[in-house]
């Protein structure tokens, strides 16, 4: 059974995020609670980054450039984002962001999260202050010869800090991370793979079974921590590549689980995003540096059981990317599925590697 058809009423409510008059009224009401010197908006422009009004879902991401006057009559400028999804997931992202900002020690210093503002329930929209800078990936695409070690060092530090937080943070009932709970649901995408290509679909089903079995064997018994859930270069916002400060965005997937989830996700997505910009040996060098920075030891001294867990979640991430490419009708699915198989073999053989390519 497919998802229910989205009502026109919900679509119309979420569409108000691109209605200047509506948004101006909302911002004039809410911004004084977060910026005490705020008085009123003098000019408002919006930039739509995502506007999807489908049969079963609505997704909007909008940035607002706000010119306003403060209580001293001086002109100011502020950038605010709104992220909305008809599935209600942005409420959780707002709560997660709020907990990390208010109670996690991420509001200032070198390791930061974007500043949460407020949530509009009718629009299912989370409003937050725009993070200064651009993503790590965006910076690097403009300068592929740059040294990434400074930003990888601080990126390792950010995720290490998150992993050290108390799970009681923010009194949130954090969901438990499990491969079986991935989105889209495994039963759904396996069925779709089989429908498109029976042989490939059965292969995907077998891989998923191996991933679940390995998670039960390798990860379920270990100590859990707060995890980010989707750690990768497009969610890391910086002012430049030679930085000692980063600010994280997008907190939809924060959960309680094996901290190696974040390391595996980062390494696999770093490889996927960077392999057209960098030679494979350089990618391997950067990935090794990232892990050494996180663990505070040389790669050769990192326990093989940790490497196996990292590779488990590299395989999981490769499968997630393959599923995305499948629905996008990409020709690169087999390459990603091949990587899943190779990571599984590396785990089976206890190979001390994190990169499949030389």
Where a domain ends, among 79, 103, 129?
129
Question: Who's near 61: CB < 8 A, 6+ residues apart?
Answer: 48, 49, 50, 81, 82, 83, 84
Same domain flag for 120 and 219: no
Residue 196 in any domain: the answer is yes
CA distance linking residue 274 with residue 105, whole number of Å: 31
Domain total in the chain: 2
Residue 23 in any domain: the answer is yes
Residue 41 in any domain: the answer is yes
Same domain flag for 292 and 161: yes
Same domain flag for 82 and 153: no
Q: What is the pLDDT of residue 1?
A: 46
- Which CATH number covers residue 300? 3.90.1200.10
Same domain flag for 117 and 139: no
Same domain flag for 209 and 319: yes
Beta carbons of 201 and 193 less than 8 angstroms apart: yes
Residue 1 in any domain: the answer is no
DSSP sequence for 216-279: IIIITTSPPEEE-SS--TTSEEES-SS-S-EEE---TT-EEE-THHHHHHHHHHHHHHHTTTS-
Beta carbons of 211 and 186 less than 8 angstroms apart: no
* H or E, element range at 64: strand 58-70
Same domain flag for 141 and 263: yes
Q: What is the pLDDT of residue 2?
A: 57
Same domain flag for 117 and 190: no
Q: Which domain holds residue 157?
A: 134-348
Residue 358 in any domain: the answer is no
Same domain flag for 306 and 240: yes
- Which CATH number covers residue 87? 3.30.200
Residue 306 in any domain: the answer is yes
Beta carbons of 297 and 328 less than 8 angstroms apart: no
The radius of gyration computed from the CA coordinates of the chain, to the nearest angstrom, equals 21
Q: Distances from the Cα of 133 to the Cαs of 8, 137, 246, 285, in angstroms?
A: 36, 12, 9, 26
Same domain flag for 262 and 287: yes
**Tokens 């059974």 belong to residue:** 1
What token pair was written down for 31?
């911004």
Residue 125 in any domain: the answer is yes
Q: What is the pLDDT of residue 329?
A: 87
Where a domain ends, among 111, 129, 147?
129
Cα of 188 vs its chain's centroid, Å: 22
CA distance linking residue 200 with residue 337, whole number of Å: 9
Q: Which residues of the chain have pLDDT under 50?
A: 1
Q: Distances from the Cα of 59 to the Cαs of 23, 70, 80, 126, 250, in angstroms?
A: 17, 33, 17, 12, 14
Residue 357 in any domain: the answer is no
What token pair was written down for 227?
């995890």
Same domain flag for 117 and 192: no
DSSP sequence for 109-153: SSEEE--EEEEETTTTEEEEEPPSSEEHHHHHHH-TTS--HHHHH
Where a domain ends, among 104, 129, 154?
129
CA distance linking residue 234 with residue 243, whole number of Å: 16
Same domain flag for 143 and 16: no
What token pair was written down for 259?
């901290």
Question: Who's near 232: CB < 8 A, 6+ residues apart?
Answer: 137, 265, 266, 269, 270, 273
CA angle 155, 296, 319 (to 5 degrees): 55
Same domain flag for 241 and 296: yes
pTM for this prediction: 0.93
């Amino acid at each position: 059974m497919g998802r229910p058809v989205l009502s026109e009423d919900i679509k119309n409510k979420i569409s108000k995020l691109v209605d200047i008059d509506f948004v101006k009224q909302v911002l004039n009401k809410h911004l004084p609670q977060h910026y005490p010197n705020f008085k009123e908006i003098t000019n408002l422009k919006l930039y739509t980054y995502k506007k999807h009004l489908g049969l079963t879902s609505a997704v909007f991401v909008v940035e607002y450039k706000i010119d306003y006057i403060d209580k001293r009559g001086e002109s100011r400028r502020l950038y605010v984002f709104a992220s909305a999804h008809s599935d209600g997931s942005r409420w959780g992202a707002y709560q997660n962001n709020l907990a990390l900002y208010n109670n996690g020690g991420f509001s200032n210093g070198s390791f930061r999260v974007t500043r949460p503002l407020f949530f509009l329930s009718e629009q299912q929209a989370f409003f937050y202050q725009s993070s200064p800078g651009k993503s790590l990936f965006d910076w690097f695409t403009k300068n592929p010869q740059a040294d990434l070690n400074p930003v990888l060092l601080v990126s390792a530090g950010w995720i290490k800090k998150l992993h050290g937080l108390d799970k009681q943070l923010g009194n949130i009932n954090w969901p438990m991370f499990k491969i079986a709970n991935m989105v889209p649901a495994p039963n759904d995408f396996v069925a779709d793979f089989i429908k498109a290509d029976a042989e490939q679909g059965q292969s995907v089903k077998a891989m998923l079974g191996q991933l679940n079995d390995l998670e039960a064997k390798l990860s379920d018994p270990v100590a859990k921590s707060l995890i980010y859930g989707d750690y990768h270069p497009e969610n890391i916002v910086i002012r430049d590549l030679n930085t000692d400060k980063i600010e994280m965005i997008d907190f939809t997937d924060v959960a309680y689980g094996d901290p190696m989830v974040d390391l595996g996700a980062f390494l696999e997505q770093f490889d996927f995003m960077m392999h057209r910009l960098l030679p494979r040996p350089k990618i391997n060098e950067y990935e090794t540096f990232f892990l050494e920075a996180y663990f505070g030891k040389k790669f050769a001294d990192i326990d093989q059981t940790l490497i196996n867990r990292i590779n488990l979640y590299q395989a999981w991430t490769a499968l997630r990317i393959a599923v995305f490419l499948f629905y996008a009708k990409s020709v690169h699915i087999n390459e990603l599925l091949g990587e899943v198989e190779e990571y599984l073999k590396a785990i089976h053989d206890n190979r001390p590697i994190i990169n499949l390519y030389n």
